Amino acid sequence: MIYKVRVLFNQEFFEISGSQITIGVKSKPIKGEANKEVIKKLAKHFGVSSMKILIKSGHTTKNKIIEIQE
């Protein structure tokens, strides 16, 4: 499955609307810490290993394209 993900900082929430996911993270966007938190939250929500979640684009932006492998 492919999802559009928007990351908001200094917040703590998880919201899905169709294929759009909005995630609030507490981690700073330094050295990939925010991306790691996004992957961890997605893995927990979908009940998959974090190894099955790939950031296809948007590694350094708030808007990302994420693929969740089955």
Query: Closest Cα to residue 2, out of 47, 60, 56?
Result: 56
Q: Is the pLDDT of residue 66 over 90?
A: yes
Residue type, 61: T
Q: Is the pLDDT of residue 70 over 90?
A: no
* pLDDT tens column, 9-65: 999 999 999 889 999 999 998 999 999 999 999 999 999 999 999 999 999 999 999
Q: Which residues contact 45 (CB under 8 A, 6 or more apart)?
A: 14
Q: Tell me the CA distances in angstroms from 4 to 37, 58, 64, one per residue in order.
A: 16, 10, 6
What is the reported pLDDT for 48?
97
pTM: 0.93
- Residues 66 and 40 sit within 8 Å (Cβ to Cβ): no
**Domains, the chain, ordered by start:** 2-68 (3.30.1200.10)
